[in-house]
Chain A
Amino acid sequence: GENVEQHPSTLSVQEGDSAVIKCTYSDSASNYFPWYKQELGKRPQLIIDIRSNVGEKKDQRIAVTLNKTAKHFSLHITETQPEDSAVYFCAASANTGGFKTIFGAGTRLFVKA
């Protein structure tokens, strides 16, 4: 069935360093790839997304890249700050077939001050 794998499961960085989270997906019909941030006790919230006709997208300190051939996509956070500490989820969506958004297992990011 459809699957999204996410690595690493935990990531610890020093404030100011960059953080990279990688995901792979299995469903070729997937054409929308959002990233969500979930702070402790809160709901997941969208931070950036990318569609399959785009290879890269940037929004201030965060960027996402997509390699559709390899079915890989990645989240890059530069100049990390303590408030970036949270669980980050990648996801893949398709309207055909499964009609659902499949989430990766999450990456717990710790930014040390």
Chain B
Amino acid sequence: DTAVSQTPKYLVTQMGNDKSIKCEQNLGHDTMYWYKQDSKKFLKIMFSYNNKELIINETVPNRFSPKSPDKAHLNLHINSLELGDSAVYFCASTRGGPNTGELFFGEGSRLTVL
């Protein structure tokens, strides 16, 4: 059973389009996150959600809108895609807050904007 699953794994799209990435965790964790990993492998936090409430929004453009319908799901919608949005997006979860233990990552969604 996959602990944190995200779809799709690959996304190739044109500039200006809108796209969504879905994430689900079956671990019963309270907190979910979106991280962006750029071409230099830097892992940058984008959003933190605790029990489906937004906790952290790290100076991410308004074009990025997360949605958490329940604490097991955290989706990411991106409007008006730009070249600089090309990256691997990782969904992750922790049991409680960030310092409660391991961050469980999904497999990543590689977004390529042409």
Report A72 CB to chain B, min CB distance, Å. 18
B8 interface hit (Cβ, 8 Å): no
B55 interface hit (Cβ, 8 Å): yes
A98 interface hit (Cβ, 8 Å): yes
Report A83 CB to chain B, min CB distance, Å. 19
Across the interface, name the chain A residue whose C-beta is closest to B40: A105
Task: Check B43–A100 contact: CB distance below 8 A.
Answer: no
Task: Check A49–B102 contact: CB distance below 8 A.
Answer: yes
Task: Check B43–A89 contact: CB distance below 8 A.
Answer: yes
> Which A residues touch B76, using CB under 8 A?
none
Known interface pairs A43-B107, A44-B105, A101-B45. Does A31 touch B99 (Cβ–Cβ under 8 Å)? Answer: yes
CB within 8 Å of A: which of B19-54? 33, 40-45, 48, 50
Counting contact residues on chain B (CB < 8 A from A), the size range is 20 to 34
Task: Check B98–A43 contact: CB distance below 8 A.
Answer: no
A39-55 CB mask vs B (1 if < 8 Å, else 0) is 00011111001000000
Query: Which of B41, B98, B102 is the one whose CB lies under 8 Å from A95?
Result: B98
Report B63 CB to chain A, min CB distance, Å. 21
Taken together as a complex, chains A and B put the C-alpha atoms of A43 and B104 apart, in Å, by: 9
B66 interface hit (Cβ, 8 Å): no
CB<8 Å pairs between A and B, sample of 22: A30-B99, A32-B101, A34-B102, A34-B103, A38-B41, A42-B107, A45-B105, A46-B102, A49-B101, A94-B98, A94-B99, A95-B97, A100-B33, A100-B48, A100-B56, A103-B42, A103-B43, A103-B44, A105-B40, A105-B41, A106-B41, A106-B43
